[in-house]
């Protein structure tokens, strides 16, 4: 199946097949990210098990982890950005920066393992976190794509499926703000990489008006009942 | 709790060696796309999506 990316709406469209011309739903795109997280999470698990069985050295493990992280981050960012045609040298720089930070954490992790400071369970759970961060990169790609396309406003939308922390709720209550006002998803919130919130964007010349009846924050939507903090 | 001690203590390469790997080449991207198409057959070609060309004269 082939796809096209509509820069006006910042969404993917089916180009061929029975759905030709239709948009790929946001839910489907989220699902693809989650599937990719699971796939790379399995790779990371396999690599880590080899280390824990003393079949590979810490150095080999670090190399394999770095490769898996780079693959997951690049694929997620590309999906958020709208594919390789939208991927420009600036994006390479952004992705490179994010990767350097991840590699810095990976080096600290490898050093701790080398010194024998962690238990097997700690190593396994910490390694898992790397795959979980791919959603963050997808959202970063979406943000950069909108910003480069001239969008002015952004709004934080909490997710019903993922973990919602107090920071996410507070950000969602701030409604529309100038693009770049909020931190990137999964970076500066308490839920960190477990965050599955999203942002919506607008090109309106003045601050977009929010109609409480049409938002997920409204009482009519009933989403408050599903949030643990309000139970 | 038993801490994990690797049987073979390895010397980690310098951090600069690791940082050099953050550079994304065109070859890397091609490989990741191939890998994506293989592992997500239903959505193969998504990462190579061409921009939509709007019909001329359409308002």
3-state SS of A43-63?
HHHHHHHHHHCCCCCHHHHHH
**Does A146 fall in a domain?**
no
Report the pLDDT value the prediction gives residue A220, as an integer from 0 to 100.
Answer: 42
Number of domains observed in the structure of chain A = 2
Nearest-CA residue of chain A relative to B22? A96
Q: What is the predicted ipTM?
A: 0.89
Residue A103: burial class (beta carbons within 10 Å; 0-12, 13-18, 19+): buried
Cβ–Cβ gap B32/A85 under 8 Å = no
A176 in the same domain as A93 = no
Q: How many Å is the Cα radius of gyration of chain A? A: 19
**Does A145 fall in a domain?**
no
A124 in the same domain as A165 = no
Which residue segment(s) compose the domain that A180 sits in?
Answer: 154-230
The closest CB to that of A75, out of B23, B32, B54, belongs to: B32
Which of A12-16, A214-218, B27-31 has the largest mean confidence? B27-31
Which of A109, A112, A111 has its CA nearest to residue A127?
Answer: A109
Taking every pair of Cα atoms in chain A, the longest distance, rounded to a whole number of angstroms, is: 60
Inter-residue contact A33 to A76 (CB < 8 Å): yes
Inter-residue contact A203 to A146 (CB < 8 Å): no
A15 in the same domain as A125 = yes
Cβ–Cβ gap A78/B54 under 8 Å = no
A207 in the same domain as A120 = no
The closest CB to that of A52, out of B4, B15, B51, belongs to: B4
A101 in the same domain as A197 = no
Task: Name the DSSP class of A6.
Answer: E
Q: What is the pLDDT of residues A64-109, one digit of tens each?
A: 999 999 999 999 999 999 999 999 999 999 999 999 999 999 999 9
Of all helices (H) and strands (E), which one includes residue A105?
A: helix A89-114
B16, B23, B52, B54, best to mutate vs chain A, most A CBs in 10 Å: B52
A188 in the same domain as A158 = yes
Task: Name the DSSP class of B38.
Answer: H
A132 in the same domain as A42 = yes
The closest CB to that of B52, out of A5, A60, A114, belongs to: A5
Task: Name the DSSP class of A25.
Answer: P
Cβ–Cβ gap A84/B54 under 8 Å = no
Strand partners, A14: A3
Residues of B in contact with A79 (CB under 8 A): 46-47
Residue A135 CB: number of other CB atoms within 10 A?
Answer: 26
A15 in the same domain as A111 = yes
Q: Using CA atoms, how far apart are residues A130 and A58, in angstroms rounded to an integer? A: 17
Cβ–Cβ gap A116/B4 under 8 Å = yes
The closest CB to that of B4, out of A67, A95, A120, belongs to: A120
Of all helices (H) and strands (E), which one includes residue B26?
A: helix B26-39
Average model confidence (pLDDT) across chain B: 86
A119 in the same domain as A170 = no
Report the pLDDT value the prediction gives residue A219, as an integer from 0 to 100.
Answer: 46
User: Taking the mean position of all CA atoms in its chain, how far away is CA A150?
Assistant: 21
Residue B55 CB: number of other CB atoms within 10 A?
Answer: 5
Cβ–Cβ gap A118/B9 under 8 Å = no
Residues of B in contact with A84 (CB under 8 A): 29, 33, 47-48
A210 in the same domain as A111 = no
A182 in the same domain as A103 = no
pLDDT (average), residues B6-20 = 86
Within an 8 Å CB–CB cutoff, is residue B20 touching chain A?
no
**pLDDT tops 80 at residue A110:** yes
Report the pLDDT value the prediction gives residue A162, as an integer from 0 to 100.
Answer: 72
């Amino acid at each position: 199946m082939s796809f096209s990316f509509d820069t006006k709406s910042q969404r993917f469209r089916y180009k061929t097949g029975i759905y030709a011309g239709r948009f790929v739903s946001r839910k489907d795109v989220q699902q693809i990210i989650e599937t990719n997280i699971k796939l790379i999470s399995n790779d990371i698990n396999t690599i880590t098990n080899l280390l824990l069985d003393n079949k590979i050295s810490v150095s080999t493990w670090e190399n394999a982890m770095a490769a898996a992280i780079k693959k997951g981050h690049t694929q997620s960012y590309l999906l958020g950005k709208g594919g390789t045609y939208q991927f420009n040298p600036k994006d390479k720089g952004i992705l490179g920066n994010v990767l350097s930070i991840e590699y810095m954490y990976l080096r600290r992790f490898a050093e701790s393992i080398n010194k024998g400071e962690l238990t097997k369970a700690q190593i396994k759970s910490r390694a898992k976190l790397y795959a979980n961060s791919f959603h963050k990169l997808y959202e970063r790609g979406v943000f950069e794509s909108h910003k480069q396309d001239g969008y002015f406003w952004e709004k934080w939308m909490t997710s019903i499926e993922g973990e919602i922390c107090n920071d996410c709720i507070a950000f969602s209550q701030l409604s529309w703000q100038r693009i770049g006002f909020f931190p990137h998803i999964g970076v500066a919130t308490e839920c960190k990489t477990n965050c599955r919130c999203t942002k919506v964007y607008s090109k309106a010349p003045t601050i977009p008006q929010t109609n409480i009846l049409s938002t997920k924050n409204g009482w009519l939507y009933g989403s408050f009942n599903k949030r643990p903090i309000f139970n | 709790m038993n801490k994990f001690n690797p049987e073979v203590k390895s010397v980690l390469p310098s951090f600069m060696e690791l940082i050099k790997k953050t550079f994304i080449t065109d070859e890397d991207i091609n490989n990741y796309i191939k890998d994506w198409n293989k592992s997500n057959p239903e959505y193969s070609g998504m990462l190579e999506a061409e921009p939509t060309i709007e019909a001329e004269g359409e308002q």
